[in-house]
Amino acid sequence: MDILACDTDDRLTELLKINDELNHIKDIDSLLDAILYETRRLTNADAGSIFLIENRMLNFSYVQNDTLKKRDPLNNKQIYSNFAIPINETSIAGYVALKGKTLKIDDVEYIDDNVPYSFNRSFDKISGYNTKSMMTIPLVTTRGHVIGVMQIINAKDDKGNPIAFQSSDERYLSFFAGSATSAIEKAKMTREMILRMIKMAELRDPKETGSHVNRVASYSIELFQKWAEKRNFTHKEIKNYRDILRIAAMLHDVGKVAISDIILKKPARLNEDEFKIMKTHAYQGAKLFKGNVSDLDALSYDIAYTHHERWDGKGYPRRLKGEDIPIAGRIVALADVYDALISARVYKPAWEESDVITVLEKESGNHFDPELVEIFLSIYDVIKAIRMKFPDLDFKIFTS
Ligand code: C2E
Ligand code: SIN
Ligand code: SIN
Ligand code: SIN
Ligand code: FE
Ligand code: FE
């Protein structure tokens, strides 16, 4: 962990290596995870977060915190926090986004009276964390456009006590932030392309925001994480799989491109013939990924093809049963039905939460893999946090 001991050449070589790795990550959340992790490793920082600019606000997009993780190792709730802060001089992050310059604060207790920004204690108050030193770095593209900020918190000495960041950290990080920014831009483009594909396929409605697919993807990776941990998958295996699972899960219904609007948007129950046509979306989607040139294709194929199979073998299109259904298909089946029931659709209102839970319990071992239902209920506070993060209506919750 202690990179300060390395000489300059080693440090540069390492930066180049990380840069190369970042360029291979296509999913934006996995990318933010890797960027924060590497930044914190380079500076020996206890915590950090990334804010990305969306709708002229700094959206809290990713967080890591070793101390809080140690206190509550199984809780992933934090990363689904949802808040945004305005881009102005009153906050530290806002100031850095506005000026496009790195800000190093040795102790947030003692910020000069004559600067416009002040430290916002609300996060520390809620979490019980104690922020001391902070370095806030703008994420600037090569064209000079600020897309967000990265904030790292509490550099640690040998004994783990918080100390100020070093001036040398600042130089390395400005280089690193540049390559991180271009990787984020690329991942954003991939994500936008996928969202456009999904819009074309499922939503076809300018009011829709892609919330359903974001929620299904997030539930799915949380389910997978717990399932894989029980099987002692390595950290690296889990990370690699999460990366492609998010994208593949988002594409589960992409085969609906082939279904006419008359059926897809029918504001009533489908008749038998209509439902027969609707059911072809599973295979239609799978066909798009046939050939399996990449792991992502193979997984997208499996999920599109099998997300309507049932554990008891009564699903469609192939009536696969139990563990013959790939795990990703079993996971997305549960995530998809949960989200379909808890949300309103053109053909049905949202269900009461207690009724949805009752269905999951009743369908454990019938529609759904019982182990997955058990995991789902055990992480239900995370599931709810995901719903808060991706609400159906196009609004955000402001706290700061
Ligand atoms: P979807 O809306 O994403 O729903 C996914 C799955 O959630 C459904 O798969 C079903 O297993 C479950 N689900 C959703 N709503 C209900 C509900 O009110 N009751 C019950 N018991 N289960 C529900 P399924 O049935 O294979 O449907 C696949 C897709 O077909 C749906 O995706 C939706 O796009 C469409 N669809 C299904 N039924 C209707 C309908 O009556 N009218 C319209 N317009 N579309 C429908
Ligand atoms: C800020 O940068 O002032 C907001 C984020 C934080 O308080 O950590
Ligand atoms: C990729 O190119 O591997 C991801 C983007 C996509 O699925 O279109
Ligand atoms: C299912 O589609 O089997 C779950 C929903 C239900 O049976 O009510
Ligand atoms: Fe489907
Ligand atoms: Fe769906």
Cα 41 to ligand 4 centre (Å): 47
26 in active site: no
Judge contact between 93 and 51, C-beta under 8 A: yes
pLDDT tens-digit map of 271-307: 999 999 999 999 999 998 887 677 888 999 999 999 9
Per-residue model confidence (pLDDT) at position 346? 78
Q: How far apart are CA 260 and CA 179, in angstroms?
A: 43
Average pLDDT over every residue of 4-24: 66
CA distances from 335 to 298, 340, 375 (A): 20, 9, 12
Q: How far apart are CA 57 and CA 91, in angstroms?
A: 12
Reduced to 3 states (helix: H, G, I; strand: E, B; else coil), residue 48 is: strand
* Ligand with smallest separation from the Cα of 288: 3
Question: To the nearest whole percent, how much of the chain has pLDDT over 90?
Answer: 55
**Mean of all residue pLDDT scores within the chain:** 87
State the DSSP string of 139-150: EE-TTS-EEEEE
Q: Which of 230, 256, 266, 287 is catalytic?
A: 256
Q: How far apart are CA 274 and CA 93, in angstroms?
A: 52
> Which residues make beta-bridge pairs with 52?
59, 148
pLDDT top residue among 8 and 234: 234
Q: Is the pLDDT of residue 397 over 60?
A: no
Pocket residue to mutate for ligand 3, from 23, 27, 30, 193, most atoms within 8 A of Cβ: 193
What are the structure tokens assigned to 172, written together? 């390395």
Peptide bond into 86 cis (omega under 30): no
Reduced to 3 states (helix: H, G, I; strand: E, B; else coil), residue 173 is: helix
Reduced to 3 states (helix: H, G, I; strand: E, B; else coil), residue 47 is: strand
Other beta carbons within 10 Å of 227: 18
77: CB partners within 8 A, 6+ apart = 381, 382, 385
Domain ranges within the chain, ordered by starting residue = 3-187, 205-389
Closest ligand 1 atom, residue 256 Cα: 34
Q: How far apart are CA 130 and CA 71, in angstroms?
A: 13
Ligand 2 lining (C-beta closer than 6 Å): 85, 91-93, 119-120, 123, 151
What are the structure tokens assigned to 317, written together? 């299109």
205-389 placed in CATH 3.40.50.1100: no
**3-187 and 205-389 share one fold:** no
Judge contact between 129 and 81, C-beta under 8 A: no
State whether the beta carbon of 26 lies less than 6 angstroms from ligand 3.
yes
> Which residues make beta-bridge pairs with 60?
51
> Domain 3-187 belongs to what topology?
Beta-Lactamase (3.30.450)
Other beta carbons within 10 Å of 115: 12
pLDDT tens-digit map of 133-157: 999 999 998 889 999 999 999 999 9
Cα 268 to ligand 4 centre (Å): 17
pLDDT tens-digit map of 242-260: 888 998 999 898 888 888 8
Q: Is the pLDDT of residue 398 over 80?
A: no
pLDDT top residue among 398 and 177: 177
